Structure 1
């Protein structure tokens, strides 16, 4: 049985699991301008890519797993949040590993 909040729940879980890394790493969330420069260009490219794929019928989403909030009549809001949340999780993980390797 699918929930309309399934996609959001997975994104939230990813952010929740990696949140403690903020204090173990280099303070990714405290460097918002750097994070924006890293995430926003990729976000823009992936949103365009997804919209094209959806319009052409190459990609779709289970309506039962999304909230129904659709941006531009095409892209579920969860997909845009995915393009922000997962890179944030990756940056948190990367910065933590980098700091741990540096500090020994």
Structure 2
């Protein structure tokens, strides 16, 4: 009967596989692809150029983020939109539909370019 090892050189099997060079190359390639698509989506809607797409490396994973260093939850508003508020005239102002930049680039929401 076959024996299944749960550890490789004192490392859990899943982590050893994730850290393998070919796995890391595939993960990085996928992150770069998502980052490029997200950048293309964002560039079509950029008004004043504060927000940008950033790809970072973690211990095992790669991260693609929508960064807007101005704060004020601007990146969250770009991705998910925001509700408006009613002004003194009873009109709704400041409402914005989200662009779903990261979700579209990753193929989670709608079509990627």
| TM-score (normalizing by structure 2) | 0.30
Q: TM-score, normalised by structure 1?
A: 0.32
**Bigger proportion of residues as helix:** 1
| Structure possessing the higher radius of gyration over alpha carbons | 2
Higher strand share: 2
Which gives a bigger RCO, structure 1 or 2 (Cα 8 Å, sep 6+)? 1
